[in-house]
Amino acid sequence: MEFQKLEFENQTEKQMIQRSKHFLEMIKSRRTVRDFSEKNIPEGVIDNAVKAAASAPSGANKQPWHFVTVKDPAVKKKIRVAAEKEEKEFYEHRAPDSWLEDLNQFKTDWHKPFLEQAPALIIVFRQSYTNLGSTKRKNYYVSESVGIACGFLLAALHNAGLVTLTHTPSPMGFLEKILKRPKNEKAFLLIPIGYPAENAKVPDLIKKPYNEVATVL
Ligand SMILES: Cc1cc2nc3c(=O)[nH]c(=O)nc-3n(C[C@H](O)[C@H](O)[C@H](O)COP(=O)(O)O)c2cc1C
């Protein structure tokens, strides 16, 4: 492989401090939203966010991800019906009491109207291996890589003025079937995207203080 000169722009210390503060304020205002309006998203915004996600680092540059954007109401409905079936089973039978206790504060249940209300859903798939003709080539650090790409995606969507819900209906195998994904792909996250409903509320959560989450030696 050829190497090329890194494009890197040196910044002044003042710029660095300002930019880090600006990013912190921007990203701190992100919240998970569960009530969406049906307003449409301007053309190109989601594509740019997906391109930002796809620029993420990945183990051995395998880029073990695929992003499916669903805007078609009929497909969103199929996804809602299948997700609610799994979620009903989860909330009523599968989830251990401790998990339900942890979820209680979010007032979530098996009803998932946002899967139809949000103007778009992005379903992120992880690829555990790549098909090279008739042989399979294993991908490395797949969850780490796809997790980082999803972080880029959420940050890019928030930066563009949209809200998201990081949703994990459990289990998610129905997404592979509905979206006709190849065998090497498993659903990783289901992300409804759009604008908040007019009176959308979010839980008044407390984030851990810096000194609890960070150690500087
Ligand atoms: C991997 C992951 C899975 C999640 N799954 C769900 C989910 O299925 N349903 C839901 O309502 N929220 C889900 N959330 C959202 C979390 O509840 C939310 O991020 C957390 O309460 C913190 O709130 P904030 O995002 O507003 O800071 C998930 C978040 C993550 C990172």
Q: List pLDDT tens digits, range 82-117.
A: 999 999 999 999 999 999 999 988 889 999 999 999
* Per-residue model confidence (pLDDT) at position 192: 98
Counting ligand 1 atoms within 8 A of each CB, the residue from 167, 175, 189 with the most, and so the one to mutate, is 167
Q: For atom 14 of ligand 1, which residue has the closest CA?
A: 166
- Find the radius of gyration of the CA atoms of the chain: 19
Contact of 145 with 58, CB cutoff 8 Å: yes
* Per-residue model confidence (pLDDT) at position 170: 87
Find, among 115, 107, 75, 114, the residue nearest to 91 by Cα.
107
- The pLDDT confidence band at residue 213, using thresholds 50, 70 and 90, is very high
Residues above pLDDT 70, as percent of the chain: 100
Contact of 78 with 178, CB cutoff 8 Å: yes
Planar angle of CA 21, 157, 69, nearest 5 degrees: 160
List strands edge to edge, sheet with 120-127: 65-70, 120-127, 185-194, 163-164
Distance between Cα 12 and ligand 1 center (Å):
37
Helix ranges, 55-209 (H)? 73-89, 97-104, 114-117, 142-159, 173-178
